[in-house]
Structure 1
Amino acid sequence: MSDVRPGRHELGQNFLTDRSTVDRIVHLVSQRHGPLVEWGTGNGAVTLALAELGRPLQGVEIDPRRAADLRRRIGPHVCIAEGDILRHAPPQDAVVVSNVPFHLTTPILRHLLASTTWRHAVLLTQWEVARKRAGVGGTTQLTAQWWPWFTFTLDRRVPATAFRPRPSVDGGLLLVDRRREPLLPESRRRAFQSWVARVFSSRGRGVADILRRNGVPGALADRIARRRRRSSAPVLPRDLRAEDWVEAYAARP
């Protein structure tokens, strides 16, 4: 992939140049059904590989020059549109693919999760973001707030040398899949997410105490804490899993 030109820093572009990572992305996408959407096509390294799957593919690129260049090089079953991915709505049941601009990771993830149309996402993000979203080494508030409706899976680490220009940190492949059977109905999402935010911001002597302060019956709070205890260190909200959050929330009066 020696023809890849450096990205424009004002657009947050670090283009993927490692063929093995591109192949891995295509493999992951091939296991998921639905029309394809790529957010941020850049120079087209991933786009051209996805096009070989022969499925409907829409690319969204904010840089008009790169979008025009890619249109000249790609097949007729691929549509390359100029636009801001933070304003784009994926089609129904889509598979969203993106080498996420590192400086826009959180707003892009929030925009994606708030959309109700897509079904799967294969995302290349900063390594630490991918780890945290997948709950590796502890759960973040954002993951906990969306867990009843999505699963988050860490696939692999992608070294900084796989990008050009080279970023200061490694990347990570993160898989986000909408649950076929949500753990909570959509109508309870706002209330659940507000409650999770209160739990994360509450003080207490470990998660059992924190859950009790937020309306969870004491016996259940203690049972959840015991379930997640791995050492003598206190169990904290970051240690809970999706089923713990849902069980605790549902048990409140």
Structure 2
Amino acid sequence: MSHSFRGGRHELGQNFLTHTPSIAAITDLVRLTDGPLLELGAGNGALTRHLAALGRPLSAIEIDARRVRQLTARLPHVDVVLADALQIPLDAATVVGNIPFHLTTPILRRLLRAQEWKHAVLLTQWEVARKRAGVGGGTMMTAQNAPWYEFALRGRVPRGGFTPAPSVDGGILTIDRRASPLVGVAERRAYEQFVAAVFAGRGGRLERVVQHAVRTSPSVARRAVAQAGARGALPRDLRAEQWALLWSALRG
């Protein structure tokens, strides 16, 4: 068996977490969740052993076969699995992991399409965590998913807290599935297309952008923006609840 699916540590883009305060912070956030755990990218097990101490069913995914053997020997009560985070079913109640920075976007996209999990505690690049949490303005990806998920920035991890050190700091991001979605699941595709059209739209004022995005009249666009409490706002300024109100007003 080869040592990994894709080669050695450099090819895998592994930056192992060594920052003790961040390991503790992630563990504490996971402790607030419930159900079985799925760890993506177990690496050398720095986080895995703390998750195992929570006493919940834990599956730890690792793509490096050599490290899988080491973790299996050190943590016999953990289900350590040789697998790719881009292929493994994301079917545990809580997903946690130090996500390889170069795979952050595809893993997030997979996660936000999976139906089984309820909570996620992820270590990503700092800027990705900030953007997903809407710090400094929302992004299209976050707005498209916010009716079904709540995003929050929980901490910053210095680049020196990894081995080897990456070129940027990390950020701790939590994602929780909403118990009551703000938009119906059956409307998801149409809603996502609407958000994309608004973010790509031109016209300056939100009313005009919305008018062109959905090809409606100026009066309908003005009324919808007013009902959403979004007069004078830009797309990046809208909260999840405002996007949902805007969508509902236009659908109505």
TM-score, structure 2 length as denominator? 0.91
Asked whether the 8 Å contact 2:152–2:173 carries over to 1, the reply is: yes
Which letter maps to 1:203? R
Q: Give the deviation of 1:103 after TM superposition.
A: 0.6
Counterpart CA distance in 2 for 1:195 and 1:222 is: 14
Task: Give the equivalent residue in structure 2 for 1:171.
Answer: 170
Task: Give the equivalent residue in structure 2 for 1:223.
Answer: 226
How well do the aligned residues superpose, as a CA RMSD in angstroms?
1.6
Task: Give the equivalent residue in structure 2 for 1:81.
Answer: 81
Counterpart CA distance in 1 for 2:148 and 2:229 is: 25
Gaps of 5+ in 1: 1-6, 230-234
Task: Give the equivalent residue in structure 2 for 1:155.
Answer: 154
Seq. identity, %: 52
Which letter maps to 1:75? P
Which letter maps to 1:12? G
Which letter maps to 2:45? G
Whether 2:50 is the aligned partner of 1:28: answer: no
Asked whether the 8 Å contact 1:148–1:183 carries over to 2, the reply is: yes
Gaps of 5+ in 2: 1-7
Counterpart CA distance in 2 for 1:222 and 1:84 is: 44
Q: Give the deviation of 1:9 after TM superposition.
A: 1.6
Whether 2:124 is the aligned partner of 1:121: answer: no
Counterpart CA distance in 2 for 1:73 and 1:59 is: 13
Task: Give the equivalent residue in structure 2 for 1:213.
Answer: 212
Which letter maps to 1:142? M
Q: Give the deviation of 1:243 after TM superposition.
A: 1.0
Alignment length (residue pairs): 240
Asked whether the 8 Å contact 1:207–1:225 carries over to 2, the reply is: no
Counterpart CA distance in 2 for 1:124 and 1:220 is: 41
Counterpart CA distance in 2 for 1:148 and 1:49 is: 32
- What pairs up with 1:58-207 in 2 under 5 angstroms? 58-76=59-77, 78-92=78-92, 94-207=93-206
Counterpart CA distance in 2 for 1:56 and 1:95 is: 10
Which letter maps to 2:75? I
Q: Give the deviation of 1:228 after TM superposition.
A: 6.7
Residue 74 of structure 2 aligns to a residue in which SS? coil
Residue 195 of structure 1 aligns to a residue in which SS? helix
Task: Give the equivalent residue in structure 1 for 2:11.
Answer: 10
Residue 171 of structure 2 aligns to a residue in which SS? strand
Task: Give the equivalent residue in structure 2 for 1:3.
Answer: none
Whether 2:45 is the aligned partner of 1:44: answer: yes
Task: Give the equivalent residue in structure 2 for 1:248.
Answer: 246
Q: Give the deviation of 1:225 after TM superposition.
A: 8.2
1:104-150 Cα shifts (integer Å, max 9, x gaps): 11101001100000000000000000000000001111000000000
Task: Give the equivalent residue in structure 2 for 1:57.
Answer: 58
TM-score, structure 1 length as denominator? 0.90
Counterpart CA distance in 2 for 1:102 and 1:218 is: 40
Asked whether the 8 Å contact 2:19–2:162 carries over to 1, the reply is: yes
Pair 154,187 (structure 1): closer, same or farther in 2 beyond 3 Å: same
Pair 204,221 (structure 1): closer, same or farther in 2 beyond 3 Å: farther
Q: Give the deviation of 1:89 after TM superposition.
A: 1.2
Task: Give the equivalent residue in structure 2 for 1:232.
Answer: none
Counterpart CA distance in 2 for 1:141 and 1:66 is: 37
Pair 48,132 (structure 1): closer, same or farther in 2 beyond 3 Å: same
